[in-house]
């Protein structure tokens, strides 16, 4: 039985999944953690690509983040389908840039739009600082101007709504945009606003996109901000004809800083032309974990339905602080390891990067291998491909889980297919000759030499080009990852043999047998300036829920009742209020 047939057969055993899989029109699937919603989406996408999409047409699978897009590609490949011309897989931003702005901006009367580049983070941050300096005087309090402007731009406010924010905020936004345009730059928020305008105002854009992509599949719809929602609705409803299949869960909306509004998913599901399917069964969490998760949410909805019995939930106070929590966790990990639990089935989660750094240091002091990616560079299609190359080169197909053919397909989708195909043989030679213990920096530079010789380096997408700079800086002899070997770089794509350490936000989409959640202090979660009942407070609660439901078998929550701020002051606020409200303390 092929992977696709097996996946379909498994869906057929769940009446609600079967209903969504066979529905032919617009469909929105609402589903709790571990309910198989992403499996449902990828299975339906591959089936449609092979049975319902005409030659020279395709379908688009989009999601918010690069790691989520990489997971979609992996699942689609496992079902026997290569992501490429027939099946586009990527972030909503890459779809907006590559398939809306670049092809249609000039024809729609905006020739400059297609010539702009994505601003590097440093350039964008410098432009924002300069815009604030020009608008506000030196004695005014501007601590929250940056974050306020960025959030309002993500929300794609109307002029009337901008007016309500105050003259200073709008002035900073306009000056920031003027400074970017002066350098032929746009940022991610500009990309979405421009793409939304093109699909909403121009019928020919919607017509051509429908002809190319008659089906639009959206994973984790609750993470889409209003501008992204406008693009989807314009393509599928407002004089658009593209068939929409979307999956998501408002209770897992934890990216508020991107402007997300989880209620948009419920509005979408309530449209008259949309068929709504509610999945109920959590296949991941033990019954006790799922029940505790519902208490964390304080949900009045239906009781959690699980396919797994048991589960274990414990809460522990370590009054000596985070270092004591880390030492306790290390001891427990060693016990689990002695019981032959694979290390990659263990996760340690915490609210902040600083918390994770302290936990990583403690675990490594106990000789526990750790998977932890700091902020050296972000995941993009290119950086992910380079890490995947390193995984295959150092571990081989059997241990890495990657097929060489799939990696080369991934390589050729980074830009112009014809240009990248020219360097394919050289890439294969590099992968076959790379030694696992050699420098990761040298390995990446060798691949970059191939890209430069073929002209592919100059044709990279802006986000790939920006993060490549950060990746090369990190792997440089003076960089923070200078000690990385090819094996170390490859292991960033693999979990085998290492404990996963992650912030609570970054844990979304992952699952483990055993999960430790550290630093659950009031002031850290919820964050100290999240007002009770506010959107930020509710998102902090959902963040705890998402982290909690990563576990299949056990969850251990730790707190001390106090923490040290980065300015050196001690805050003795007690455990997180969410622990008390959910009955965990």
Enter the tokens of residue 447.
């691949």
The alpha-helical segments, DSSP class H, found in 23-166 are: 37-51, 66-78, 92-96, 102-104, 121-135, 145-154, 159-164
Determine which helix (DSSP H) or strand (DSSP E) holds 89, and give its type and residue range: strand 87-91
Q: Tell me the two tokens of residue 376.
A: 């050296």
CA 85 to chain centroid: 23
Query: How far from 350 is each of 20, 178, 503, CA to CA, in Å?
Result: 35, 39, 5
How far is residue 287's CA from residue 306's CA, in Å, rounded to a whole number? Answer: 6
Measured CA to CA in angstroms, residue 31 lies from 102, 204, 240, 252, 282 at distances of: 35, 35, 26, 10, 9
> Residues annotated as binding site for ATP?
31-38
CA distance to 63, 275, 393, 442, per residue, from 214 (Å): 17, 18, 38, 44
The contacts of residue 86 (CB under 8 Å, 6+ apart) are: 49, 53, 58, 59
Q: Comparing C-alpha atoms, which of 455, 539, 446, 441 is closest to residue 489?
A: 441
DSSP of 211-278: HH-SEEEESSGGG--HHHHHHHHHHHTSS--PEEEEEE-GGG---GGGT--THHHHHHHTSTT-EEEE
d(CA 330, CA 293): 25
Q: Does residue 493 contact residue 484 with C-beta atoms inside 8 Å?
A: no
* DSSP per residue, 447-499: HHHHHHHHT-GGG--HHHHHHHHHHHHHHSTTSTTTT-BHHHHHHTT--TTSE
Burial status of residue 430 (CB atoms within 10 A of its CB: 0-12, 13-18, 19 or more):
middle
Q: Is 327 helix (H, G, I), strand (E, B) or coil?
A: helix
Do 310 and 288 touch, CB atoms closer than 8 A?
yes
Q: Which token pair is 23?
A: 């529905």
Known binding positions: 31-38
373 and 507 Cβ atoms separated by less than 8 Å: no
């Amino acid at each position: 039985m092929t992977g696709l047939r097996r996946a379909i057969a498994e869906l057929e055993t769940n009446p609600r999944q079967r209903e969504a899989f066979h529905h032919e029109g617009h469909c929105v699937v609402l589903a709790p953690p571990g309910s198989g919603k992403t499996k449902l989406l990828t299975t339906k996408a591959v089936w449609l690509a092979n049975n319902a999409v005409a030659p020279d047409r395709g379908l688009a699978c989009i999601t918010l983040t690069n790691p989520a897009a990489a997971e979609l590609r992996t699942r689609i490949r496992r079902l026997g389908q290569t992501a490429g011309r027939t099946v586009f897989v990527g972030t909503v931003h890459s779809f907006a840039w590559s398939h809306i702005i670049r092809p249609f901006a000039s024809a729609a009367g905006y020739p400059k739009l297609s010539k702009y580049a994505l601003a590097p983070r440093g350039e964008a941050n410098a432009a924002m600082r300069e815009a604030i300096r020009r608008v506000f005087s030196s004695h005014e309090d501007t601590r929250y101007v940056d974050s306020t402007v960025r959030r309002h731009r993500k929300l794609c406010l109307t002029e009337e709504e901008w007016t309500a924010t105050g003259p200073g905020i709008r002035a900073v936004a306009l000056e920031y945009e003027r400074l970017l345009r002066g350098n032929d730059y746009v940022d991610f928020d500009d990309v979405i606003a421009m793409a939304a305008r093109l699909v909403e105002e121009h019928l020919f854009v919607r017509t051509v996109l429908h002809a190319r992509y008659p089906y639009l599949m959206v994973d984790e719809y609750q993470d889409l901000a209003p501008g992204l929602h406008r693009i989807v609705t314009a393509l599928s409803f407002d004089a658009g004809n593209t068939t929409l299949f979307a999956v998501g869960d408002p209770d897992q909306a934890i990216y508020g800083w991107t402007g997300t509004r989880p209620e948009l998913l419920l509005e979408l599901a309530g449209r008259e032309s949309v068929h709504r399917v509610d999945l109920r069964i959590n296949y991941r969490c033990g019954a006790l974990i799922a029940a505790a998760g519902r208490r964390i949410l304080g949900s009045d909805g239906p009781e959690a339905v699980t396919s797994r019995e048991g589960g274990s939930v414990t809460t522990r106070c370590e009054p000596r602080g985070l270092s004591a929590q880390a030492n306790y966790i290390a001891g427990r990990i060693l016990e689990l390891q002695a019981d032959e639990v694979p290390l990659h089935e263990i996760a340690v989660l915490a609210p902040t990067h600083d918390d994770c750094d302290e936990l990583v240091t403690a675990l490594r002091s106990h000789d526990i291998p750790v998977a932890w990616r700091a902020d050296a560079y972000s995941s993009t299609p290119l950086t992910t491909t380079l890490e995947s190359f390193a995984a295959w080169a150092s571990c081989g197909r059997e241990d890495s889980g990657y097929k060489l053919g799939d990696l080369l397909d991934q390589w050729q989708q980074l830009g112009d297919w014809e240009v990248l195909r020219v360097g394919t043989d050289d890439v294969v030679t590099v992968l076959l000759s790379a030694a696992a213990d050699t420098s990761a920096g040298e390995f990446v530079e060798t691949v970059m030499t191939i890209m430069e010789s073929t002209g592919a380096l100059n044709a990279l997408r802006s986000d790939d080009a920006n993060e490549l700079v950060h990746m090369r800086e990190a792997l440089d002899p003076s960089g923070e990852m200078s000690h990385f070997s090819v094996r170390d770089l490859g292991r960033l794509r693999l979990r085998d043999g290492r404990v996963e350490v992650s912030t609570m936000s970054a844990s979304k989409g992952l699952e483990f047998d055993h999960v430790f959640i550290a630093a659950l202090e009031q002031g850290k979660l919820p964050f100290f300036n999240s007002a009770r009942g506010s959107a930020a407070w509710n998102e902090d609660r959902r963040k705890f829920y998402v982290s909690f439901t990563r576990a299949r078998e056990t969850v251990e929550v730790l707190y001390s009742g106090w923490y040290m701020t980065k300015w050196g002051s001690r805050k003795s606020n007690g455990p997180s209020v969410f622990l008390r409200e959910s009955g965990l303390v």
